[in-house]
């Protein structure tokens, strides 16, 4: 047996450094290959005063690959905005130009929607202008109008023309009124995809829901309005964002497991979170992600809800951005 001479300290350090660099490179490549892309369909600029830098850091900390920014409509004082109290989506959120500008700064990570106060005379023109710029949905519709009004039907016609979905905030006696009649819109516009969101949408997973209660805590009896709309209309989708989406899963986890399984092809992850950290108990978005991963019946369903359904609906790439995950 031939014995090699011992390595000098310099050669030993050089070899160790090379081995460490090689291991780090392989680890980074492995992480990139196995990273789970996540599409967040529901976020806002200037949400409760959050800065753009804080927002980007928040999304990266959550591990989001693609985010859709949903703008507010023009600030106006009229009945549909509760005489201005609901301007900025009642949360100081930025308008169309703000989401376009930020998305252009981070084109690998951000997409944007188009929006306007629906009963303004120029609503169609304003929304269409931003659809032509590349908006991937009409959202977030959060105005005090009947959900089957002529204004919503105008949006449906525009959405059909541009093949984009419409995301609606259902809140009893506040926004998109009359959820019990919304099936008529789904039936009239079968080629238009609608995304349900917010308190009254998620409260109505329960067949016995009291419409005046926005965050119910009682066990769920399956078969509520939301459950039926998702079952009966393939053009209806559900946005699991916000405290209402999280509450719908945590109030009755046994029901949530069946609901996520039953509607696995029509549910979408959204955060709608104004946190600035992106992790921990104060981050609603991180809690929603954790709940989906824990309550969905298997990894295939998790995969659908976190990005496959959104990628299909919004016609966007699921390939994660190189800077999207911070560890």
What's the pLDDT tens digit per position in 85-135? 999 999 999 999 999 999 999 999 999 999 999 999 999 999 999 999 999
Q: Which H or E run contains 167?
A: strand 166-169
The candidate with the shortest Cα–Cα distance to 231, out of 267, 275, 203, is 267
In sequence order, the β-bridge partners of residue 166 are: 138, 194
The pLDDT score that the predictor gives to residue 156 is: 98
Class of CATH domain 38-314: alpha beta
239 in helix, strand or coil? strand
Alpha carbon distance 55, 185 (integer Å)? 35
Domain boundaries of the chain, sorted by first residue: 38-314
What's the pLDDT tens digit per position in 273-291? 999 999 998 999 999 999 9
Alpha carbon distance 307, 160 (integer Å)? 23
The pLDDT score that the predictor gives to residue 317 is: 66
More confident residue, 4 or 172: 172
Is the pLDDT at 15 greater than 50? The verdict is no
Is the pLDDT at 3 greater than 50? The verdict is no
DSSP secondary structure code for residue 313 in this structure = H
Is the pLDDT at 181 greater than 60? The verdict is yes
pLDDT band at 319 (very low <50, low <70, confident <90, very high): low
pLDDT band at 36 (very low <50, low <70, confident <90, very high): confident
The C-alpha angle with vertex 27 and arms to 22 and 33, in degrees rounded to 5, equals 130
From 23-27, 57-61, 254-258, the region with the lowest mean pLDDT: 23-27
Question: Across the chain, what does the average pLDDT equal?
Answer: 90
The pLDDT score that the predictor gives to residue 316 is: 84
91 in helix, strand or coil? coil
* Nearby residues of 114 by Cβ (< 8 Å), 6 or more positions away: 71, 96, 126, 127, 128, 129, 130, 131, 133, 135, 137, 138, 139
* Nearby residues of 64 by Cβ (< 8 Å), 6 or more positions away: 38, 39, 40, 109, 271, 324
The pLDDT score that the predictor gives to residue 23 is: 38
Alpha carbon distance 128, 133 (integer Å)? 9
What's the pLDDT tens digit per position in 208-235? 999 999 999 999 999 999 999 999 999 9
Cβ neighbours, 10 Å, residue 249: 23
66 in helix, strand or coil? strand
Asked if residues 70 and 113 have their Cβ atoms less than 8 Å apart, the reply is: yes
Give the tokens for residue 6. Answer: 């011992």
Asked if residues 42 and 241 have their Cβ atoms less than 8 Å apart, the reply is: yes
Q: What is the pTM of this model?
A: 0.87
The candidate with the shortest Cα–Cα distance to 222, out of 207, 209, 237, is 207
Alpha carbon distance 94, 241 (integer Å)? 18
Ordered alpha helix ranges (H), 199-241:
199-203, 225-232
The candidate with the shortest Cα–Cα distance to 193, out of 135, 114, 138, 125, is 138
């Amino acid at each position: 047996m031939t014995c090699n001479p011992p390595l000098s300290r310099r050669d030993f350090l050089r070899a160790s450094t090379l081995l460490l660099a090689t291991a780090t490179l392989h680890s980074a490549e492995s992480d990139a290959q196995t990273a789970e892309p996540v599409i967040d369909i529901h976020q806002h600029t200037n949400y409760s005063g959050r800065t753009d830098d804080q927002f980007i850091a928040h999304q990266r900390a959550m591990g989001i690959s693609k985010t859709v920014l949903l703008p507010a409509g023009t600030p106006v004082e009229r009945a549909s905005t509760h005489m201005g109290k609901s301007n900025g989506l009642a949360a100081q959120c930025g308008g169309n130009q703000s989401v376009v500008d930020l998305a252009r700064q981070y084109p690998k990570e951000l997409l944007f929607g188009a929006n306007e106060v629906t009963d303004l005379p120029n609503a169609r023109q304003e929304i269409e202008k931003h659809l032509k710029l590349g908006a991937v949905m009409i959202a977030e519709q959060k105005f005090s109008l009947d959900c089957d009004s002529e204004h919503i039907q105008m949006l449906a016609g525009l959405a059909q023309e541009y093949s984009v979905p419409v995301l609606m905030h259902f809140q009893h006696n506040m926004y998109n009124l009359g959820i019990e009649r919304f099936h008529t819109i789904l039936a009239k516009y079968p080629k238009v995809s609608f995304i349900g969101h917010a308190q009254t949408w998620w409260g109505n997973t329960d067949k016995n829901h009291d419409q005046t209660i926005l965050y119910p805590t009682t066990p769920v009896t399956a078969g509520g309005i939301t459950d039926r709309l998702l079952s009966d209309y393939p053009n209806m989708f559900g946005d699991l964002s916000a405290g209402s989406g999280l509450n719908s899963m945590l109030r009755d986890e046994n029901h949530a497991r069946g609901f996520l399984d039953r509607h696995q092809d029509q549910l979408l992850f959204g955060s709608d979170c104004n946190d600035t950290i992106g992790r921990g108990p104060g981050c609603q978005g991180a809690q929603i992600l954790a709940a989906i991963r824990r309550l969905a019946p298997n990894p295939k369903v998790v995969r659908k809800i976190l990005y496959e359904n959104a990628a299909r609906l919004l016609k966007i790439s699921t390939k994660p951005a190189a800077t999207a995950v911070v560890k």
